[in-house]
Structure 1
Amino acid sequence: NAVQRISYSLHDQVGILATYQRDFAKNLRVTGGAEFRYWHADHPGHFTNLFGKDSINALTYATVDTAGQIKTFQRYIRQGDLDGPTGDIGFPTGWNLAGSKDPTYVTQYRNYLGETPQFTVYAQANYLFEKIGLNLMGSLQYAWYKYKLTENMPSENAISRQLKAAEVSQLGLQKEGPVGSKFYMRSGNKWYEFDLINADRTKGFLQPKIGFNWNATKNFNIFGNFAMVSRMVDLGVYYNQGRLNPDVEDEKSNQFELGFGWLDEIFQAKINGYYMNWDNKSARIQDVTKAGQPGYDRNGFRSELVGTSEHKGIEFEAGLSFDKWLPVKGFALRTSFTYMDNKWSKVLDAVKYINNVRNPFNTSALDADGKTYTLYFDELEGKPVASGPQLITTATLSYENYGFFGSIDMNYFGRDYLLDGGTFLGTEAEFIGVVNNKELYKTVYSDQLPTRFLFDVTAGYNFEFQKLIRGTLTLQLFNVFDKEYFSSSDRFGVIPGMGRTFRANLSIGL
């Protein structure tokens, strides 16, 4: 019973922003403001291809039967999809939900609505000590949000209750579908009742930030800042594949930065170090033995709070203008270097053990020899966080003059850990030889993606027409040499990067 699925996230949002700025003294400037935003997002998921069949029994749900035992049943499904653009790009107003075409949601495996109103107020002040060139900065922000989640049909991992014959008769059930806060399904001559999630989560964050910038000399400056940042928990942890987790904590972070800079007519440079810790950080985990069980998707994945991650690093960037030496003005060279060290520093006690048994983080982890083993939550401490390349070097030769601009960019990426915990995947193939006219290769395993150099080219022109219309034409060629490389990974393996790609962009404004 093969099926092909497609999932949608149809978003729209509105917002309004107001700011106020006033100089209370020669050296004191205060800025305040408020912002309101509202997000609305439909998340339907359809069975778009049953490969020639009209209907099949392919959607499995858990249920508590009339004897109180947990069992499973299968629901028949049909092929269907949204009405919308034929391509991947379309405005939200161009998509029509199945609605009356599928009142029993028999062509769908998920359908929920997320709504998020958010309100933010902030104040920021800057005070300049002119005599010593010291600028002090401080800001305070309060952010309030409410996340409302409404299910139109039960999640694949919801647990139903099998109805007794008397209950079916009393309810007068004839058709499947939603009725109030319940959803009714039928399999054969048995009926099942689900509770639909209709819940909201309201939180408010107070986020302070302080900093300084001291121009010690005409060319040399020192800067630093500290911030406390909070953000709402990952939806996957809260919604939890239909098993709502209302008590989960939001993410919080303390962030420090200190740096030095140099600036003159032809050369500028900046180097800084930073340290951040993230509390209540989550990760995507997999346990294939629990695939389809409450809290896990059909492939055994779920989002789980892990604990605290530690992020520290050094950043350097510099720029050199060639105007002093070249007859043609506008040429410059820019370069940057970033080194990061991101690790799990603490694992929550609540996830280390379940019923006094070690909780597995990855039941299909691979070691350096490609052998499968189980990585447990309590083994994550001190292990890498998979967060993209942790070593990045760039160099750019640019030109900008008389409205024309262009650049040649080189980018190097390294220390790109494949998975949380530093486990391994097959990343390369080593040629062994030919046996029986067949080429043989040996898989090479690594805990990092292979390093990669990529080159891009950009050219463009800023124009103005009769002082009324302004615009920019930009032409870009990415991965100039069409290099084959891996850009990221997940627990299924490595993911290839983008090949040679051309992009043109025209922006016009008054």
Structure 2
Amino acid sequence: MKKFFLGAKVLRYKGSKVKNLIGTKSIFFTLFSTLFTLFSFAQKQDSTKVNSLDEVLVSAVRVTSKTPVSFSNMDKKEIKYRNLGQDIPVLMNYLPSVVTTSDAGNGFGYTGIRVRGSDATRVNVTINGIPYNDAESQGTFWVNMPDFASSVESLQLQRGVGTSTNGAGAFGASLNMLTDSYANKATGEISSSAGSFNSLKNTVKFSTGLLNDHFEIAGRLSAMKSDGYVDRASSDLKSYFLQGTYVGKTTLIKALVFGGNQQTYQSWNGIDAVTLNENRRYNSAGKFTDENGNVRFYDNETDNYKQDHYQLHWSESLSDKWSTNFALHYTKGKGYYENYKEDADMAEYNLNAVGAITTTDLVRQKWLDNDFYGTTFSAKYKTEKLDVILGGGWNKYEGDHYGKVIWARYASQSELGDNYYDDFSTKTDGNIFAKANYQFTEKLSFYGDLQYRRVTYKANSADTGLVDDDFNFFNPKAGLNFEINQNNTLYFSYARANREPNRTDYEGGNVKPEKLNDFELGWRFNSENFQLNSNFYYMGYKDQLILTGTLDDVGNPIRSNTEKSYRLGFEFDATVALSEKFIFRPNFTLSSNKNVDLAVAGQNYGTTDIAYSPQVVAGNIFVYKPVQGLYLSLLQKYVGEQYMNNIELPSAKLADYFVNDFNASYEIKPNTIFKSITITALVNNIFDKKYVSNGAMWDIYPYYYPQAGTNFLIGLNLKF
């Protein structure tokens, strides 16, 4: 588990801990007790349902076409056609400026996403407005929420800095997800899919519908397994989602509990160029030589993690002009990764030498036990010309990092239950913001957004050293939106963003915060059969923490500050309805991503390409609907060549690739036992392209993460 590559050998910080105050069961009881109290209060109000009350949950972080921001939306209908078990980043693969990758090679297990060349640590992710990025690493671990796409009503990806939101600052994009809305009538749903590499997904969903026109309980259970394309890159994933909803005339109250439990065999080492040509599916994880000289692979070289989320939302429409949203949240995460270490230095694990013996084979576990909790809030005021949102949030993270040796050939003086390192870290993140959209004239509107964010981070480990840092960030944003006519709109915006280092940056000595000035200039065209979005952007950075392409000894990406850098690009996407049956949806991004006067180890390399930032990214979806209920689509993705380091080493160049997928879905509505029966098929990489979507550098030697050739998934969905 990459999130666990953060351990150190120090004594535990003796601070207060949320887990000593409230356990999982008490959190569950508290949320639903509170829901019952609010439900009792809200019953006294007029109960006439208001449309789209769910949108209030994300209104503070989402934008519309009147906002001068580059964005893309995906709704539940679009997601369902390809929702056969692959992670959310893979489902988003065909959005503009998006590049995705999979450690296992087939979209199960660990997956990653980059937007405009910025990696996942720089993509702010929220669920119903609640921060999801890991507070310390700043990454997003989708593997902890398997099949979450089955509980997503809609999502919005804002490219660039975007608008103010909760959690980590956005340096490449913001992704906000809205979970399932309530259903008016009782429903049930069973879906199963199976395919290549013994991939299997089973999902059960239900909703009681609105009981007494007010109250709904809905839920989901999912179980997924896959061997993965890469050898032994297996995953065993389980997840759940449960929500209770109260709907009144002016009130929406939601209590949600969701989470996942995952075990994945480690597959993040990559392979060298020789192995790529000889055995693309090879996985070195767990490899060791036993005492008889036989090469073996440890069968439990696994990543194990369980994460549970609790959210309580109360949205209120106070009048035609005022509405509010208040939320409480708590996330509990605990787990470890385990691996076999051959000839490990005994002193590194607090083991005394046994005579002349100073090394030993051993099996270790690195644990993370963390709590993340807080609140978010917003108030919205809207008139015919003015739309104002005031909001903010306060969140705290408490993380225990510790390591155990569970077996050693020479155990020395160790005792059962000993920790060979033990440290504690805390991070507090608070922000307030004010957003306003004012319609100056019928055609011209102004957008303003001011955010103040304060971050405090404390850690004390052998790797990070003593850390006690405070960051105060002021992030202004402003823009103009000009409607030329009913079809054409121009917009311009400026946004300032600041971002703190993550834990691995402290371990590497790169502790300067980053600064970004983002300029966006766009044109939108909208007609009945043709929609077009085009956008120029310039993102100028000070002390950007760029990926170096290298990994630390346990696979964590290493970043370093570069004094000056920029991303300059042009984005285009369109939807063209050639007829009622045929739709064409192309997009592409052309960009130049540069370090200016890059200095590495005292040597100046001048202006160079930023690592993992291809100059060309393009996607396309052809959709054909020959008859009612039948949906056929060809999905295409091109990613240009890119470097895996910043000094443009020839061996560090990752080749371009062009991949085609085919998706078919047929829905039958028998109107007997089932409301609908849907059969779905997805054939990935139909031309069996041998391609690599990601890689890393070990010194001057490239390592690659190959993706699967032609593979398929077939699904059956029953609704009743």
* TM-score band w.r.t. shorter chain: 0.5 to 0.7
Name which of 460, 473, 487 aligns with 2:665. 460
User: Does the residue aligned with 1:237 lie in a helix, a strand or coil?
Assistant: helix
Amino acid at match of 1:74: T
What TM-score, normalized to structure 1? 0.60
Aligned residue in 1 for 2:681: 475
Output the CA distance in 2 between the equivalents of 1:143 and 1:457.
44
Q: CA RMSD in A?
A: 4.2
In the TM superposition, residue 177 of structure 1 has moved relative to its aligned partner by 3.6
Name which of 359, 384, 387 aligns with 2:609. 384
User: Does the residue aligned with 2:504 lie in a helix, a strand or coil?
Assistant: helix
Output the CA distance in 1 between the equivalents of 2:328 and 2:568.
32
In the TM superposition, residue 482 of structure 1 has moved relative to its aligned partner by 0.8
Query: How has the CA–CA distance of structure 1 residues 486 and 422 changed in structure 2, closer, same or farther, with 3 Å as cutoff?
Result: same
Output the CA distance in 1 between the equivalents of 2:373 and 2:602.
34
Name which of 74, 80, 97 aligns with 2:358. 74
Output the CA distance in 2 between the equivalents of 1:111 and 1:460.
43
Output the CA distance in 2 between the equivalents of 1:473 and 1:149.
45
Aligned residue in 2 for 1:340: 591
Output the CA distance in 2 between the equivalents of 1:385 and 1:148.
32
Q: Which has the larger radius of gyration?
A: 1
Gaps of 5+ in 1: 49-55, 67-71, 78-105, 155-172, 184-193, 288-295, 324-328, 353-374, 426-446
Aligned residue in 1 for 2:577: 321
Amino acid at match of 2:683: L
Query: How has the CA–CA distance of structure 1 residues 282 and 60 changed in structure 2, closer, same or farther, with 3 Å as cutoff?
Result: farther
Q: Quick check: 2:597–2:604 contact (8 Å CA) kept in 1?
A: no
1:141 aligns with 2:347: no
Query: How has the CA–CA distance of structure 1 residues 212 and 24 changed in structure 2, closer, same or farther, with 3 Å as cutoff?
Result: farther
In the TM superposition, residue 465 of structure 1 has moved relative to its aligned partner by 5.8
Aligned pairs for 1:86-105 within 5 A: none
Aligned residue in 1 for 2:55: none
Q: Which has the higher contact order (CA 8 A, sep 6+)?
A: 2
Q: Quick check: 1:283–1:303 contact (8 Å CA) kept in 2?
A: yes
Q: How many residues align?
A: 367
Gaps of 5+ in 2: 1-287, 290-295, 406-410, 436-448, 450-478
User: Does the residue aligned with 2:654 lie in a helix, a strand or coil?
Assistant: coil
Q: Quick check: 2:663–2:680 contact (8 Å CA) kept in 1?
A: yes
1:121 aligns with 2:416: no
1:151 aligns with 2:151: no
Amino acid at match of 2:338: G
Aligned pairs for 1:203-282 within 5 A: 203-206=428-431, 208=433, 210=449, 213-227=481-495, 233-238=501-506, 248=511, 253-277=516-540, 281=545
Name which of 305, 309, 318 aligns with 1:10. 305
Provide, for residues 362-415 of structure 1, a one-character-per-residue CA deviation record: whole Å limited to 9, x for no partner. Answer: xxxxxxxxxxxxx53764674222235331122322124633222112322214
Query: How has the CA–CA distance of structure 1 residues 226 and 30 changed in structure 2, closer, same or farther, with 3 Å as cutoff?
Result: farther
Greater Cα offset, 448-457 or 265-274: 448-457
In the TM superposition, residue 38 of structure 1 has moved relative to its aligned partner by 0.8
1:198 aligns with 2:423: yes
Amino acid at match of 2:367: Y
Aligned residue in 2 for 1:484: 690
Amino acid at match of 1:337: F
Output the CA distance in 1 between the equivalents of 2:391 and 2:338.
41
Q: Quick check: 2:547–2:645 contact (8 Å CA) kept in 1?
A: no
Output the CA distance in 1 between the equivalents of 2:716 and 2:493.
38
Amino acid at match of 1:257: E
Output the CA distance in 1 between the equivalents of 2:513 and 2:329.
21
Output the CA distance in 2 between the equivalents of 1:387 and 1:313.
15
User: Does the residue aligned with 1:460 lie in a helix, a strand or coil?
Assistant: strand
Output the CA distance in 1 between the equivalents of 2:507 and 2:717.
39
Aligned residue in 1 for 2:645: 419
Output the CA distance in 2 between the equivalents of 1:484 and 1:122.
48
Output the CA distance in 2 between the equivalents of 1:411 and 1:391.
11
Aligned pairs for 1:406-445 within 5 A: 406-425=632-651
Output the CA distance in 2 between the equivalents of 1:381 and 1:122.
46
Aligned residue in 2 for 1:363: none
- Which has the larger strand fraction? 1
Output the CA distance in 1 between the equivalents of 2:317 and 2:678.
34
Provide, for residues 271-314 of structure 1, a one-character-per-residue CA deviation record: whole Å limited to 9, x for no partner. Answer: 11233356562535659xxxxxxxx5279x87344246533321
Query: How has the CA–CA distance of structure 1 residues 60 and 120 changed in structure 2, closer, same or farther, with 3 Å as cutoff?
Result: same
1:44 aligns with 2:44: no
In the TM superposition, residue 505 of structure 1 has moved relative to its aligned partner by 3.5
Output the CA distance in 1 between the equivalents of 2:630 and 2:351.
72
Amino acid at match of 1:312: L
Amino acid at match of 2:374: F
Amino acid at match of 1:264: S
User: Does the residue aligned with 2:505 lie in a helix, a strand or coil?
Assistant: helix
Q: Quick check: 1:60–1:75 contact (8 Å CA) kept in 2?
A: yes
Output the CA distance in 2 between the equivalents of 1:32 and 1:276.
32
In the TM superposition, residue 31 of structure 1 has moved relative to its aligned partner by 5.1
Q: Percent identity?
A: 18
Query: How has the CA–CA distance of structure 1 residues 260 and 403 changed in structure 2, closer, same or farther, with 3 Å as cutoff?
Result: same
Provide, for residues 112-158 of structure 1, a one-character-per-residue CA deviation record: whole Å limited to 9, x for no partner. Answer: 2141404341426475656xxxx86656433523141320338xxxx
Greater Cα offset, 249-258 or 498-507: 249-258
In the TM superposition, residue 317 of structure 1 has moved relative to its aligned partner by 1.0
In the TM superposition, residue 29 of structure 1 has moved relative to its aligned partner by 6.1
User: Does the residue aligned with 2:649 lie in a helix, a strand or coil?
Assistant: coil
What TM-score, normalized to structure 2? 0.44
In the TM superposition, residue 481 of structure 1 has moved relative to its aligned partner by 1.1
Aligned residue in 2 for 1:160: none
Aligned residue in 1 for 2:70: none
Aligned residue in 2 for 1:450: 655
Query: How has the CA–CA distance of structure 1 residues 282 and 322 changed in structure 2, closer, same or farther, with 3 Å as cutoff?
Result: closer
Query: How has the CA–CA distance of structure 1 residues 200 and 406 changed in structure 2, closer, same or farther, with 3 Å as cutoff?
Result: same
In the TM superposition, residue 333 of structure 1 has moved relative to its aligned partner by 1.3
Aligned residue in 2 for 1:403: 629
In the TM superposition, residue 420 of structure 1 has moved relative to its aligned partner by 3.0
In the TM superposition, residue 220 of structure 1 has moved relative to its aligned partner by 0.9
Output the CA distance in 1 between the equivalents of 2:413 and 2:650.
50
Q: Quick check: 2:586–2:621 contact (8 Å CA) kept in 1?
A: yes
